[in-house]
Structure 1
Amino acid sequence: MLSEVNLNKLSCITCPLNCEIKPTTSVRISFCQSFCFSTWPEGSSFFALGITEGVLKKSHTWIYSGCVFVDFSISYFRIFLSRAWLDALIETKLKIILVCDKHLQALANYWFKNDDNIFLILYPGEKIDTIAEKIKRKFLGHHPMTVRGEVLSRLEFSILHDLSAGQDCVVVAETFNLGVRSVYAAKQRVEKKMDADINDLFRYSYAL
């Protein structure tokens, strides 16, 4: 539930103490001998359980620094339309790993392509063994991360942002000095890449 989600809070899940990372870093973290692992946003217990019992148990021997696993799903769609979430996570100095669903895959790929601070993307349908091998290879530097599937262009991202903010196509066309038909065409490309209507993405995501 939205009431249980705290976008400004981040805690370590490495041990039962769950030391706070943000907004105020716990003193205990400075003396901890273990790597710090976290999930964000907090409040999604099933997501956190999946990361702990699935990904970390299978991959922890290959992870050589702290990581934050981001629930990059339709529930938080609105958050990912600005870079405030990314700037906040960069401050933690943890490796940022996106765990995306099928609808936000193209958006996750956009952020990865446009910001070097994103360490890795875990895609829908990947098996635990595949994920473990992927994490191992990334940390060992065996090959660079390659994106899978569609990627939003910068123009498509900007149009998605403005349409999701409630602007109509005429206003968006004026903003980007485009014809209205070009905006409609870009909107259709976005919806095809994300396999969903923009209105549905907005409707099924938490309000900010």
Structure 2
Amino acid sequence: MRIKDTAEEWRITATETPFVGNKTSARTDVVVMPDGTSVNRDYQVHPGSVAVLALDEQDRVLVINQYRHPVRHRLWELPAGLLDVPGENPLTAAHRELYEEAHVKAEDWRVLTDVFTSPGGCDEALRIYLARDLSDVEGERFEVAEEEADMEVARVPLADLVRGVLSGELHNTCLAVGVLALSAARAGDGIEALRPADAPWPARPFEA
């Protein structure tokens, strides 16, 4: 039996948005359950995001370290960002984030995996790309501010990151899912079997 998630939408009889922020909002839907009862479901409305697992020729992953206020931690993460430009192709956004956060470009791009980051309370869809054949970008660096002004960039062996995730020392969702997915891909059908960078993304449809 093939295990596969399926799209489905239960009937909504009312909805309201009590909070609208700069990038996200909070919504309450009244949803009809299978037994006919109605319940409130509160969740964060999110534009979606992309992350990049950039792997160099020495099998090191490019990671960044920055402060995340909601969890009161400095976290090691993959370069990532919101899909906050209307109609933007997610691959274009991934190129931009890799450039802005690490001043790096890549020639070989593939889809590593697609996930819903917290489907019980947020509609965020995340696409993680694998990027290889890395090189530094020439020219001026992107001007950083706020948390990013204190950001550290490093290259860490993939095996060390896998150990850090499994030991409970690394906690970022993009990083954990990305490095474990890459390890699984290598142990399975191989990187060449990964989906192409322009593969469809039903959770966040886009134009080529």
- Larger relative contact order (CA 8 Å, sep ≥ 6): 2
| Superposition TM-score, scaled by structure 1 size | 0.24
Q: Hey, which of these two has a bigger chunk of helix by percent?
A: 1
